Amino acid sequence: MNNRLKVLRAERNWSQADLADQLGVSRQTVNALETGRYDPSLPLAFRIAKVFGQPIESIFTED
Amino acid sequence: MNASIETPRPSLLRKAAMVVVLAGLGGAVGYGAATLTDGVLTTWEDELAVFMSVIMIAVGAITAFMVATRPATVPRGCGVLQAVVMLLAGALFLLPVFGTAWAQPDVVYGGILALLAAQSVANLMLWRQADEMLRRVMLETSALAFWALQLALFVYAAGERLGLVATITGWGLMGILMGVYFIASIVAAARRGLS
C-alpha cells in the first residue's frame, strides 16, 4: 500500500516525533509507515486521517 | 521540504564507527565472559545458556542506555520495560548455572520462580504499553520462532526415537529455544526497519 504521509507531514512542518505523539505511536512506527514497511490497522488509519483532516482514501492508495 | 522535518540519518562514517564500537564492546564482553567462566562450564548446555544470557544482558544494558539518552514519550515506558525484560531473562539463564554456588538448589529454584513471575508481569505490561507495530513485531517473532522450533523439534524427536541422535537435556533445549527466538526477533524487527 502506498501513502502520502511524508508529504502531508512535510506540508505541516512536523517531525516524525511530532506526528507520532499525535497518533499515540512510536517514532519508529511513523518511520515504518512512511517507508512502506508497515501498513496501519484501520483504527490507526482513521486516526491518521483525522490528524491530517483528510479522508483515508486520499492518504492511502493501493499499489 | 523543510529540513527540520526530515529524520536525521546517520552518516556512513557514523554507522561504521557504531559498528566498530559495538564490535569492540561485544568482543570485550565475550572475552570477559569466557575468562570468567573458563573451566566452570562443563557442558555445552551451560555454555549456550551463559552465551544467551550475556547477549540478553548486553542488549538490556544497551536498551537502558538508549532509553536514558534518547527518551521517547510514546509509547510510554516501553523502552524501560524492554530493558527490564531482557535483563531479567539474562538473569534467569544464569541462575540455574551459577546459583548453587551461593545457595541450596531449592532456594535457587524459588528465586528463579520469583524472577520468572516478575519477568512475566513485565512482559505483559510491555504488551499492554506497546503500540500496534511493536505488538505486530512480537506476534511475528512468536510465529516465526514457533514454526522454526516445531519443525526442528520434530526432526530431532524423530531422529532420537530412531536412535540416530543423542538425547538433549531440557536445559539444552531451552538454550536452543532462546537462541532461535532471539534470531526470530531480529528478523521480525528488521522487516519493520527497527534496529
**pLDDT digits 0-9 by tens, B110-165:** 999 999 999 999 999 999 999 999 999 999 999 999 999 999 999 999 999 999 99
Q: Return the CATH number at A26.
A: 1.10.260.40
Q: Is the pTM of this model over 0.95?
A: no
Banded pLDDT at B2 (limits 50, 70, 90): very low
Residues of B in contact with A40 (CB under 8 A): 132
Q: Would you write out chain A's pLDDT as a tens digit for each of its 63 residues?
A: 899 999 999 999 999 999 999 999 999 999 999 999 999 999 999 999 999 999 999 999 987
Q: Which tens digits make up the pLDDT trace of B160-187?
A: 999 999 999 999 999 999 999 999 999 9
Is residue B62, in this structure, part of any structural domain at all? yes
Report if residue B84 sits inside a domain. yes
Task: Write out chain B residues lying below 8 Å of A14, CB-based.
Answer: 5
Same domain, B111 and B168: no
- Give the DSSP H/E element, type plus range, for residue B144: helix B132-161
Query: Which residues from A are below 8 Å from B4, CB to CB?
Result: 13, 15
Cα of A32 to nearest chain B Cα, Å: 6
Q: Which domain holds residue A20?
A: 2-61
- Helix, strand, or coil (residue A61): strand
3-class secondary-structure state, position B192: coil
| Residue B16 clears pLDDT 80, i.e. is over it | yes
Determine the pLDDT at residue B28. Answer: 80
- The model's pLDDT over B56-75, given as tens digits with 9 standing for 90+, comes to 999 999 889 888 887 776 67
Q: Where are the beta strands (DSSP E) in B30-181?
A: none
The range of the structural domain enclosing residue B174 comes to: 131-195
Residues of B with CB under 8 A from a CB of A: 1-2, 4-5, 7, 72-75, 78, 131-134, 136, 191-194
- Residue B5: list chain A partners with CB under 8 A: 9-10, 13-16
Strands (E) located in A1-63: 2-3, 60-61
Phi, psi dihedrals of residue B162, rounded to the nearest 5°? -85, 0
pLDDT at B17 over 70: yes
For B145, counting Cβ atoms within 10 Å of its Cβ (0-12 exposed, 13-18 middle, 19+ buried), the class is: buried
| Paired residues of A60 in beta bridges | A3
Phi, psi (degrees; rounded to nearest 5) at B144: -65, -45
Query: What is the CA B119 to chain-centroid distance, rounded?
Result: 13
Using CA atoms, how far apart are residues B171 and B177, in angstroms rounded to an integer? Answer: 10
Same domain, B37 and B121: yes
Task: Answer whether A39 touches B (CB < 8 Å).
Answer: no
Query: Is there a single domain that holds both residue B109 and residue B56?
Result: yes
Distance CA A37, CA A34 (A): 8
Tally the domains of chain B: 2
- Cβ distance A1 to B55 under 8 Å? no
Domain membership flag for residue B145: yes
Q: Chain A, 42-61: which have a CB under 8 Å from a chain B CB?
A: 44
Domain boundary among B130, B156, B180: B130
A32 CB near a chain B CB, below 8 Å?
A: yes
CA of A9 vs chain B CAs: smallest distance (Å): 8
Looking at the structure, tell me whether residues B125 and B135 fall in a common domain: no
Residue of A9, A11, A30, A38 to mutate, interface with B, max B Cβ within 10 Å: A38
| Final residue before a domain boundary, out of B105, B130, B155 | B130
Confidence class for position B85, pLDDT limits 50, 70, 90: very high
**Residue B6 confidence class, pLDDT cut points 50, 70, 90:** low
pLDDT grade for B4, boundaries at 50, 70 and 90:
very low
User: How many domains does one find in chain A?
Assistant: 1
Q: Are residues B43 and B118 in the same domain?
A: yes
Mention every residue, 6+ apart, whose C-beta is less than 8 A from residue B75.
A24, A25, A26, B129, B130, B131, B134
Domain boundary among B90, B107, B130: B130
Residue B130 and residue B138 in contact, taking contact as beta carbons nearer than 8 Å: yes
Q: Which residues of B touch A20 (CB under 8 A)?
A: 74
Residue B17 domain flag:
no
